[in-house]
Amino acid sequence: MFPPAPSLRLIRDVITFTTSELPKWNPMNVCYHLQEAGATPVQELAYALATAVAVLDEVKETNPSEEVFAQTVQRISFFVNAGMKFITEIAKMRAFVDLWDEITRDRYGVTDAKSRRFRYGVQVNSLGLTEPQPENNVYRILIQTLAVTLSKDARARAVQLPAWNEALGLPRPWDQQWSLRAQQILAYETDILEYADIFNGSTVMDAKVEALKEEARAELARIDDGRRDRSVQAGYMKGRLVESNARRLAAIEAATRSWWASTSSRTASPRRSRPARVRSRPFPKASARRRSSASTPGRRSATSPPSTRRSPNSPPPPRKTGTSWRPRSRPPRPAPPPANGARHCATSSASTAPRRGSARRCARRAAATPSRKSASRSRPPRRRSGGG
């Protein structure tokens, strides 16, 4: 909402106030949005840590009291995003733990190891959830959750999971419950909480963590060089994020699936990683749909025979329109926004004034680029009706 310098001052004032008046309060959570803005794992590490460093520098400058400062360090927490690159995500979290320990010890001289702990919560990735075949999002959510819980030394303190149908509309209570159950099954039905860190001693994991740390340290050093001017610093990070996001979008369009892997933009070959064709019908026939419409979503229907197309307790199947199914019973609509404001409303007003040639070139390029991603659907996507 404000330029970098005044924002930092505001955060500093809040921290200073809460540290003395509300000692158990966690005044700030650093950075959720990085991955969703297109950041690579190295950028997530570097930019989240750089943000925390900027805040701590600011607090240290104005509050020379050792005690206040130690308290501040201990109370900083992070909010991280977890994506689909499973091993990389585990390594990323381990790298976060190590780097935070390093920074708080070496840069700020925090001696108490407990105060140097990297405390973080996670919202697993919503950006990678798809609207076509939304049932697959359940697997994505669970895999992403595992990545931030499997390694004990780098385990998330709090996890929140999106709903499988978030790309379709607001989730119903039933959908939210399904996401909650995933966490509970992981915590109470598996044995992951009973073991020490299972990655300690893994040479593969250590190598990956070290590589991420090294790159992140280099990026942190570049950011630190610009610390005299916060806007330059912010501008640099924003520029890098925009670049990564452009690469990510281009990869989606080319169906190379090289999301978030900073290196894979060089190595990914569209041919090698093109998704396999699916021949079977993705969704049940109309008769199956009618049958299921009688049963409440989520209630196990013991009578319906197991089917290869639809498991008995699967969520309600999509309607004929397939990819654009959405929940039958909707939660109550949110109250209209306050008169003064549209909270999440952005605009980009495009004044096309197209140079004729470029507009035509654009249209031609669009026509010449067959929708590669449609290969992953068994049915050709419906044609858009030119916005009619």
| 203, 287, 303, 351: residue in contact with another protein (rule CB under 8 A) | 351
384 near another protein (CB under 8 A): yes
Structure tokens at 162: 């999106």
355: contact with another protein by CB under 8 A: yes
Can residue 329 be called a binding residue for another protein (CB under 8 A)? Answer: no
Using the rule CB under 8 A, which residue among 121, 169, 297, 312 binds another protein? 169
Place of tokens 């290969």: 375
Distance CA 40, CA 32 (A): 13
**Interaction of residue 297 with another protein, rule CB under 8 A:** no
Residue of 131, 135, 153, 224 interacting with another protein (CB under 8 A): 131
Q: Minimum distance from CB of 14 to another protein (Å)?
A: 20
Name the segment binding another protein (CB under 8 A); options: 37-45, 144-152, 290-298, 358-366: 358-366
Q: Is 42 in the site for another protein (CB under 8 A)?
A: no
Nearer to another protein, 115 or 176 (CB): 176
* 277 sits near another protein (criterion: CB under 8 A): no
List residues bridging with 80 in a β-sheet: 122
3-class DSSP state for residue 58?
helix
Alpha-carbon 246 to chain mean position: 17
Residues ≥6 apart with Cβ < 8 Å to 144: 82, 83, 84, 89, 124, 125
Cα angle 167-172-178, degrees, rounded to a multiple of 5:
85
CB 379 within 8 A of CB 258: no
Token digits of residue 36: 């969703």
Computed from CA positions of residues 149, 42, 259, 366, in that sequence, does the dihedral angle turn out positive or negative? positive
- Among positions 252, 268, 288, 375, the unique one binding another protein when judged by CB under 8 A: 252
CB-based contact 87:198 (threshold 8 Å): no
Minimum distance of another protein from residue 162's CB (angstroms): 11
* Closest distance to another protein from the beta carbon of 4 (Å): 16
Examine residue 334 and tell whether it contacts another protein (CB under 8 A).
yes
Query: How far, in Å, CA of 177 to CA of 275, rounded?
Result: 31
Write out the residues near another protein by the rule CB under 8 A: 129-132, 166-170, 242, 246, 249, 252-253, 321, 323-324, 326, 333-334, 336-337, 340-355, 358-359, 361-363, 365-367, 369, 371, 373, 381, 384, 386-387
